[in-house]
Chains A and B, each alone.
Chain A
C-alpha cells in the first residue's frame, strides 16, 4: 500500500480494543482477526488523511519507529486484500 493512500474500515467489520491492539470481526465472512495496536491510527483515520501523513506524525511523536512503517503498510495491504479495509478514492 502506498503512503499516499487513504483507508477506511469495511462497513461489515467491527473492531474491539484489546491489550494487543484490537480484535476484528467480519460479519460478511464470519472471520475473526487480530489487529496490531500500531495499525489502529491508520484504520481509525477513516480515510481522512494519507497513510504517509499519519506515519510521519507518529514517528515525529515517538509513537512509531520509521523502520516499522514499510511493514505496517504491507500488513494494511493484506487487510485490504481480505476486504477488511478499503482504499478511499
Chain B
C-alpha cells in the first residue's frame, strides 16, 4: 500500500500541526495568510497553551510548526517553547526575524529539537520590502547573520511570487552562503493573500520554470507545497497530496482548530480546544473524516497526471471560488488566467516595522 493510501486512512495524530500562537505582528505583509496584525483579545493563556502542549505530547505529536502573527511577540514565547521541547515535541518556528537579537540567537542555537525559519520574500530590499514592509529585509538579514554567527543552521522561508521569481538563484546564494537552507513555498490566496493573488501569483511560464528549478536544487525544501507542479513530470519530493485533515491541521491563537493553516475559514473550522480535547477533535471531526476519504473528482480523474498531483490545493480552490472537484487554478495544463505582467500594482501596502 502506498504512503498516500496509508495516510488517507487517518493518523492518531497530525504530522504537520501548525500552531498560530498569536495574530499580533509588528509587520503587515500584503500576502499574510492569517491577516495578522492585531492580537486577538481572547488568545490562549499561558496555562491553556501549556495544557495543549501536554496533550500533544501525550498524543506523541513529533513536532509542531509555530507561527502567527509573529510568535516571538508573545511574552511567554520562550517559556512555551521550552515547555514543548521538554516534552520532546520538536519546534519549527517561523519568524520575521525582527525580534531575533543576540540573546535570542544564543538561546536558539543552544536548544535541541528547535528549527527556525526566517521569512524573506525577495533577495533585495526593493522586492522583499514591497511585500513585507520597509526595513524588513535588513532586519531579516541581521537575524540570519546572528544565527550564522552562532553556527546555527537556520532556514529561510520564501513565498515565491512573480516579483521575486527571478531572484531565486540570488536568494539561494544569500542563504546557503551563510550556512542556511532555503525553503520555497507557494503563495496562496488566503487571508490578505486574496487581495494580491492576481498581482503576485506566478505566471504559468514561471510555474514551469520553477518546477525545473526545484528539480535542479534538491537541497531546497518546499513543504510539499508545489505538488500541483508534479504533474509536469517526475514528482517533487514530498507526499504530493493535500494533507488537510489527514496529516495537517492548524490551531489558531484562540484555540480554534482548522483543517489547514491556509483555510482559516468557518467552513473548515472543526472545533475549539477550550470546548473539547484536541485528540477528540482530531479523531472525531465529521469534516476531517470526510476530508480523509475525499478525492478530487471531475475532469482530474481522467488526467494522466492525477496520480502525481491528486488535483491540487484545496485552499487555493476555496479562496478563488473554484469547486473543490475542479482542477487547481494553477493546474499546469490550464491556460493562463489573469494578468501576466511581471509588475502589477499591489492592492495593499505593507507598513514599516513597529517597534
Contact = CB atoms under 8 A, between A and B. Distances in A.
Check if A and B associate. Answer: yes
Interface of A: 14, 16-20, 23, 25, 27, 30, 32, 34
Contact of A20 (B6, B90, B113): B6
A14 B108 CA distance: 22
Contacts of B90: 25, 27, 30
Nearest to B12: A18
Interface in B96-136: 112-113, 115
The 10 tightest CB contacts between A and B, nearest first, are: A25-B62, A16-B60, A20-B6, A19-B9, A27-B113, A18-B11, A27-B90, A14-B62, A18-B12, A16-B12
B13 to A, nearest CB: 7
A20 B352 CA distance: 50
Contacts, number: 32
A9 to B, nearest CB: 14
B353 interface: no
Q: Report the interface size class on chain B.
A: 10 to 19
Given A16-B60, A23-B11, A23-B15, A34 B88 contact: no
Interface of B: 1, 3, 6, 9-13, 15, 60, 62-63, 88, 90, 112-113, 115
A35 to B, nearest CB: 11
B72 to A, nearest CB: 22
B88 A16 contact: no
A20 B1 contact: yes
Most buried by A among B12, B88, B115: B12
B6 A16 contact: no
A17 B13 CA distance: 10
B12 A30 contact: no
Contacts of B3: 34
Contacts of B10: 19
B107 to A, nearest CB: 18
A20 B12 contact: no
Given A23-B15, A25-B63, A14 B9 contact: no
A20 B3 CA distance: 10
Given A27-B90, A30-B115, A16 B1 contact: no
